[in-house]
């Protein structure tokens, strides 16, 4: 148990930093690292490759960085179905 409040704060900040680093190392940085490829997104949306695919990929990356979804096929396609698919 840490008794000094400054030491407690330092330990908390270190823990947050380590957790953030670990999370970011597992998070894709580019569309190529997504668990769902462009062709699969196009097929799912029923469109030809184009702007819609890029938009969907950017949305997926933003959601991953924000931590609202994980990089797996089902979660990413569900995200697309919820926000893009008509």
Count up the domains in the chain and report the number: 1
Range of the domain at 36: 5-83
**pLDDT (tens place) for every residue of the chain, 86 residues total:** 557 776 776 677 667 665 555 555 567 778 888 999 999 999 998 988 888 899 999 999 999 888 889 999 999 999 999 887 55
The reported pLDDT for the residue numbered 56 is 92
- The dihedral formed by the CA atoms of 51, 53, 54 and 60, expressed in degrees to the nearest 10: 150
Q: How many helices (H) and strands (E) does the chain have?
A: 4, 0
Q: What's the rounded Cα separation, in Å, for the pair 77 and 71?
A: 10
């Amino acid at each position: 148990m840490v008794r000094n409040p400054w030491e407690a704060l330092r330990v908390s900040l270190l823990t947050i930093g380590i957790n953030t680093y670990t999370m970011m190392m597992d998070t894709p940085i580019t569309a190529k690292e997504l668990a769902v490829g462009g062709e699969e997104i196009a097929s799912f949306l029923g469109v030809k490759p184009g702007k819609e695919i890029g938009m969907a990929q950017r949305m997926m990356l933003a959601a991953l960085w924000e931590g609202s979804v994980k990089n797996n096929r089902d979660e990413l396609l569900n995200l697309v179905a919820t926000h893009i698919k008509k």
